[in-house]
Structure formats: C-alpha cells, structure tokens
C-alpha cells in the first residue's frame, strides 16, 4: 500500500498557494549587499519557485495567488504562462498593492542572507472570494506556504483552501516556509502553523521551523522522531525534516524512516535548494516512487540549485536531475547520498 494516494482522475496535479515575488540576485557577489551594484531579476517566492519546479518536471500546475497591477505583476504572470502554469486563478491587485521584492546577499558559498520588502504586498491581500472551490476539487494536491498565513486576508484564504481540500479529498501539503519578518510574534506564527499542520497530509520543514511551530505545545529539544510522531498523530502521512548540509529525513505513517544526504557540489549560494528539493520530492511521490528515491531526487535537485545563480530560472528538468545523480554516483560512489 502506498504511503500517500493521489486521485489520478483530477485535471491538475498540484496548486501552490501564496507568495509570488521578485528576486534581485547580485551579479557582483561574494561581497556585502551594500557593496553590490549590479543585480539580475528573477521570479521568486517559495510557492512560485515550486510551481516552476514542478512544471519543469512535467506536472500540470495551477496557482492561487495575487500579483500587482503593474510591470512586475505582468512579468511574473508572463513567466508562469511560458512555463505552462495555469494563471486563471491568479488575481490582480486593485488597491495599489505591490509585489514583494527580495534582494539577496551572497557573501560566500556558505553565507547568504535576504533583504525583503514586504509592506503592502499583493500576495497577502488574497481574499477568500478569490479561492475557487472547484479549482481545488479538480487538483490532486495543494501546497500551502507558511508565509500565506502571516496576515489577513491571506491567512483566511489559505485556511479556506485547506477546508475545500479536505472536503474534496485533495492532498494538503504544508511547506512551513518561515520568514520571521512577516510575523508579529512567534506565538502568532505557532498558532496558525499548527492549525494547518493538524489538517495537512504532508509537512516539509527544517528542524528550526518545526521547533518554532511546536513552541507552544511541545517541550524544547524534541527529537525528529518525536516531532514526526506528534504530527502524524493528526493523520499526516509523511513528515520531512531537513537539516541543511546534514541532510534530511522522511518519516511515514507506516513506521518508515528514510534518510538522505546532499550531493557534493561547489555551491554558489546557500538559498534556493529547499524549493527545488520540494518540487523533485513531490514529483517522485506523484510518480509513485519509493520514499527514499523521492528523497534522493529532491536532494539532487537541491544540490543543483545551490550551485546556480537563480532559483526559478535554474529549476531542472527530470532528465537533468537523473544525469546529475548518475554523474555524482559515478564520481563518489553509488551510496553518496544514501550512505
């Protein structure tokens, strides 16, 4: 029996909900952001990156979100259209809301940071009226990004999308995606994150993100096993806990534990890998692969992204990930990521 079941009769494979933004990555990197003078513009935002990643992998992707009524809004919707992502449920802001802008700092391959402008942003203005029940009913899965829960009316829109998904048997994937600057307090974040985590089927997050989400309800210093058991008690089927360079572990509700390590690469930056990881891992799940193969595919995609300048533009196709993994195993041994 498979750990997770997707309804193969649905029109779309997956619908991310939440943030679409603009990334400005410095071309003159390996220096502080204040010294960078030249930037390249990319589509950004974790849910948007995952949408692109899954579209590149051949999945039928939709999106629920809101963008600005200006040149940047047209840039991101045009990008989605070129990638084959359905934009029919992306609303256009009518009250002057802007897209979030992200300026990244690439100090070194291991040290990066992000400066975000998130005041009056379009994605957090998404309303419940802009969440289409039938659109969710016709999809195998939705992905809720944690940042969509940071403010009203977006948080109510996200919670409504979860309710529609539960009503119609659409798989709910919760990407914790914590950004401290979008929240009023850690307690507020923990309340809303836990509300979605109790209703989801799959949770993806870092060890630090799980600690924050559990801060009101669990003892400090929970082990990965304790965290996985805690959320599987609410009927989650898969809990993935990421530890950066130390790798990640997937826990399944049948008692399975699967571990993976990153593939060795020459990194350019320390961000972006998580979105590629999620895309490739979820692709494997939808293809019916064993969990460890899904993890390996996700780890391969993540390693490719941290060695690239962009996030969205560098999202790989399936054959590119397979070739990357083949070469790394040829170079470092068959168990390079699984050992």
303-316 tens-digit pLDDT: 999 888 888 999 99
pLDDT at position 283: 98
| DSSP β-ladder status, 202-206 and 39-44 | unpaired
pLDDT at position 272: 78
Banded pLDDT at 255 (limits 50, 70, 90): very high
Q: What is the percent of the chain with per-residue pLDDT over 90, rounded to a whole number?
A: 82
The top-scoring range by mean pLDDT among 95-99, 105-109, 244-248, 260-264 is: 95-99
Q: Examine the pLDDT at 188 and tell me if it is beyond 80.
A: yes
pLDDT at position 339: 66
pLDDT at position 294: 96
219 vs 8 pLDDT, higher one: 8
Non-local (6+) Cβ contacts of 119 within 8 A are none
Angle between helices 71-82 and 46-56 (to 10 degrees): 30
Q: What is the percent of the chain with per-residue pLDDT over 70, rounded to a whole number?
A: 99
CATH of 12-19+46-96+124-332, one of 1.10.1200.10, 3.40.50.300, 3.10.180.10, 3.40.1190.20: 3.40.1190.20
| Distance (Å, whole) CA 102 – CA 120 | 14
pLDDT at position 92: 98
* pLDDT tens-digit readout, 273-321: 899 999 999 999 999 999 999 999 999 999 999 888 888 999 999 999 9
- Spans of all domains in the chain: 12-19+46-96+124-332
Please state the rounded mean pLDDT for residues 269-275: 84
Please state the rounded mean pLDDT for residues 217-230: 90
């Amino acid at each position: 029996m498979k750990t997770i079941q997707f309804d193969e009769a649905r029109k779309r494979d997956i619908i991310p909900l939440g943030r679409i933004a603009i990334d400005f990555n410095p071309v003159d990197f390996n220096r502080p952001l204040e010294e960078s003078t030249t930037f390249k513009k990319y589509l950004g935002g974790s849910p948007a990156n995952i949408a692109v990643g899954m579209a590149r992998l051949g999945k039928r992707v939709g999106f629920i979100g809101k963008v600005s009524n200006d040149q940047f809004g047209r840039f991101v919707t045009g990008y989605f259209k070129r990638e084959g992502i359905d934009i029919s449920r992306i609303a256009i802001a009518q009250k002057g809301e802007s897209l979030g802008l992200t300026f990244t700092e690439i100090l070194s391959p291991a040290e990066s940071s992000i400066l975000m402008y998130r005041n009056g942003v379009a994605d957090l203005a998404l309303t419940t009226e802009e969440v289409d029940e039938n659109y969710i009913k016709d999809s195998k899965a939705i992905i809720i990004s944690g940042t969509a829960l940071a403010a009203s009316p977006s948080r109510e829109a996200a919670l409504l999308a979860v309710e529609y998904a539960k009503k119609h048997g659409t798989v709910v994937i919760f990407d914790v995606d914590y950004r401290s600057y979008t929240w009023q307090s850690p307690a507020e974040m923990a309340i809303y994150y836990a509300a979605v985590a109790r209703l989801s089927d799959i949770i993806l997050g870092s060890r630090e993100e799980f600690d924050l989400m559990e801060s009101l309800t669990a003892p400090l210093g929970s082990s990965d096993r304790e965290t996985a058991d805690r959320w599987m008690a609410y009927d989650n089927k898969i809990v993935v806990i990421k530890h950066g360079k130390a790798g990640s572990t997937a826990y399944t509700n049948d008692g399975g534990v699967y571990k993976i390590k990153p593939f060795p690469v020459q990194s350019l930056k320390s961000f972006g890998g998580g979105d590629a990881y999620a895309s490739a891992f979820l692709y494997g799940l939808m293809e019916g692969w064993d969990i460890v193969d899904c993890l390996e595919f996700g780890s391969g995609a993540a390693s490719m992204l941290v060695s690239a300048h962009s996030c969205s533009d560098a999202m790989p196709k399936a054959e590119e990930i397979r070739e990357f993994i083949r070469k790394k195993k040829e170079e470092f041994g068959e168990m390079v990521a699984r050992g």
